[in-house]
């Protein structure tokens, strides 16, 4: 087999290995709803958090002192980026606003970077907050506080203001995007189920007799990312390169002529 044929076969193998990765990355994260309707209100607790798809920009009106809640889904390999803008009243004193992100177990998640707490000086028109989370992992130790696949909650509130400013109207904008980190964040393991709150609470009934749904994100199976990551592509490429190196070394050292005949008796 010539070196040209070997290289052609190797390139074909790499292309076949990379194909599933491209197909898998085509829709790695939830997107905005097809109807294009972004939420225009916020919940007042974890239980009533307004569901928000990644890529949507939610708006809500409230008052200083209110707790505003949204929820969004995040899958393994994603690094969510949560941004919030608060439009303040024309006349106000110094205010400090804070953006918090919690996972499906209501554990507060640390921000990798971004200003999650900011103070707006007197007379400022807006205050902008941001929280770039750590990459969501497919699996973690039970005692760890790593972000895991499932529902995440955004809480926006003012944490410091003067008494005269309490109850003044404000308007807010919240947007969640994410970056797909890919195989660099892959781990050996996965959750049996994503951290999505219980499907329904039978004890609480609405006027029409239906159970109160805590979250509609996720499904019983197939929601969280599977075993495939682009790390398998690089593993395959490494194996092909190692095989090429072995074949090339053999071709260079085996020689091209027939062994020289040694006359008898010499």
| Paired residues of 46 in beta bridges | none
What does the chain come to in residues?
266
Distances (CA, A) of 203 to 70, 198, 199, 216: 23, 13, 13, 18
Q: Encoding tokens for residue 146?
A: 């790593």
Select the highest-mean-pLDDT range: 22-26, 214-218, 250-254.
Answer: 250-254
Cα separation of the two ends of the chain: 37
Predicted local confidence at residue 217, as pLDDT: 55
Question: Where along the chain do its domains lie?
Answer: 26-229
Confidence of residue 13 (pLDDT cuts 50, 70, 90): very low
Q: How far out from the chain centre does Cα 107 lie?
A: 16
Q: Return the DSSP state at 143.
A: T
Distance (Å, rounded) from C-alpha 251 to C-alpha 249? Answer: 5
Confidence of residue 239 (pLDDT cuts 50, 70, 90): confident
Contact of 98 with 172, CB cutoff 8 Å: no
Question: Is 23's pLDDT higher than 90?
Answer: no
Question: Is 228's pLDDT higher than 60?
Answer: no
Class of domain 26-229: mainly beta
User: What mean pLDDT comes out for the span 197-218?
Assistant: 47
């Amino acid at each position: 087999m010539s070196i040209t044929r070997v290289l052609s076969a190797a390139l074909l193998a790499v292309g076949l290995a990379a194909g599933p990765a491209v197909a898998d990355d085509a829709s790695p994260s939830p997107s905005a709803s097809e109807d294009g309707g972004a939420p225009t209100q916020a919940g007042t607790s974890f239980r009533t958090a307004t569901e928000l798809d990644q890529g949507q920009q939610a708006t809500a009106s409230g008052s200083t002192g209110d707790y505003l809640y949204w929820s969004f889904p995040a899958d393994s390999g994603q690094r969510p980026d949560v941004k919030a803008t608060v439009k303040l009243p024309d006349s106000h004193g110094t205010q400090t606003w804070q953006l918090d992100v919690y996972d499906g177990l209501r554990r507060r998640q640390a921000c990798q970077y971004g200003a999650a707490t900011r103070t707006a000086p007197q007379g400022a028109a807006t205050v902008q907050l941001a929280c770039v989370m750590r990459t969501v992992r497919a699996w973690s130790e039970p005692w760890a506080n790593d972000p895991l696949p499932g529902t995440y909650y955004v809480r926006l509130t003012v944490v410091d203001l003067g008494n005269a400013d309490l109850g003044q109207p404000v308007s807010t904008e919240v947007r969640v995007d994410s970056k797909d980190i890919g195989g660099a964040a892959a781990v050996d393991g996965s959750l049996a189920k994503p951290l999505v709150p219980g499907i329904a609470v039978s004890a609480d009934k609405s006027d029409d007799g239906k159970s109160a749904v805590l979250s509609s994100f996720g499904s019983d199976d197939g929601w969280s990312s599977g075993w495939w990551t682009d790390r398998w592509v690089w593993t395959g490429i490494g194996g092909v390169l190692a095989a090429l190196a072995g074949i090339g070394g053999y071709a260079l050292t085996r020689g091209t002529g027939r062994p020289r005949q040694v006359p008898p008796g010499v």
